[in-house]
């Protein structure tokens, strides 16, 4: 018997297969974006601190004399 001559309704079978299929879980993007943003802000803060802070050590003592 060819599949086109089936007694079952193909739309009903397709609907039943969709209902029985396991749902696809989508991954959340917000935790990744939050971690990347935190890393970027932290890097900018540390870079700014390195630029604006005066050097400490023997080089500073020589400049002060």
Nearest to 13 by CA among 2, 24, 21: 21
pLDDT of residue 43: 97
In which element (H, E) is residue 59 found? helix 58-64
In the DSSP assignment, the letter for residue 5 is G
The tens digit of pLDDT for each residue in 14-60 reads: 999 999 988 888 889 999 999 999 999 999 999 999 988 877 766 66
Is the pTM higher than 0.85? The answer reads no
Domain segments of the chain as ranges = 30-55
Q: Compute the distance between CA of residue 51 and CA of residue 12 in angstroms, rounded to an integer.
A: 68
pLDDT of residue 59: 65
């Amino acid at each position: 018997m060819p599949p086109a001559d089936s007694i079952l309704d193909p739309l009903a079978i397709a609907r039943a297969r969709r209902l029985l299929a396991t749902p696809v879980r989508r991954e959340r993007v917000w935790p990744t974006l939050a971690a990347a943003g935190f890393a970027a802000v932290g890097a900018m803060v540390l870079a700014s601190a390195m630029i604006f802070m005066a050097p400490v050590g023997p080089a500073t003592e020589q400049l002060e004399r």
